[in-house]
Structure 1
Amino acid sequence: MRDSYPKPPAHIEPYVRVLGSKLAMQFLLTFGGAELYIGRNPTERSRVVQLVGVDLAAELSETLRQTQNPRIPLAKPWVAACLAHEGRSVADIARTLHASDTTVRGWLGKDPYRPSPARWGDA
């Protein structure tokens, strides 16, 4: 799935491939930082299903079954880059990610997910 958001790092790519960047961001903000079990046949009672729907939850379950780590990553630098891409302010991003504005500026300043200016003709 290709969208205009910053390219995800490798450990986030499976989530973005299944959910797309916007929904992957919401998923990481909701479940990141802890282990998460998604059954092979997720039901409507599942918080994952409530966020992404039955079909995407099942596809995500199958994709994540291939990884060894059941912990959902936080990926705050990438999420910060995506939120900035959406036009959110540094202060708003900091509040959303429970990080300081200084930390967010640091992430955005060395944003490894942002294409180089030469690719966009901004040089």
Structure 2
Amino acid sequence: MDAYVAIRQTFTSLSVRLMTAGEHESFLVASSFDINDDGTTYLYGVYQGVPSISDRKEVTAIHYGSFRYKVIGSPVTGLKGHYWTDRETGGSIELFDRRSELFDSFASAEAARKPAGEIEPPLP
């Protein structure tokens, strides 16, 4: 599934918002970083998933989930990890093709996407 993630970080705050084509959004409720002695870094989070109003009865309800992402690269080039939800679902996720622009909707991020031949492959 294609999705876009807007990550905004300051010294004291972190915002992670996932956006999908069906106007579903997930936003961060709580988070923490785990930096190991060897420099390997993980991002942990709890999020709330909010489907579009039209999908709440037919597709999915508002739900909560959590994730663990390994931070890839220095400077960061992507995130790779897994998630699970209170709907007893879960899976893997890879975030790549990092951009400095920030988008607030799936449509605006999709419009700025590189042509298919130029998209970087998933992280190792």
- Tell me whether the two structures share a fold, i.e. TM-score over 0.5: no
**TM-score scaled by length of structure 2:** 0.22
Structure richer in helix, relative to its length = 1
**TM-score scaled by length of structure 1:** 0.22
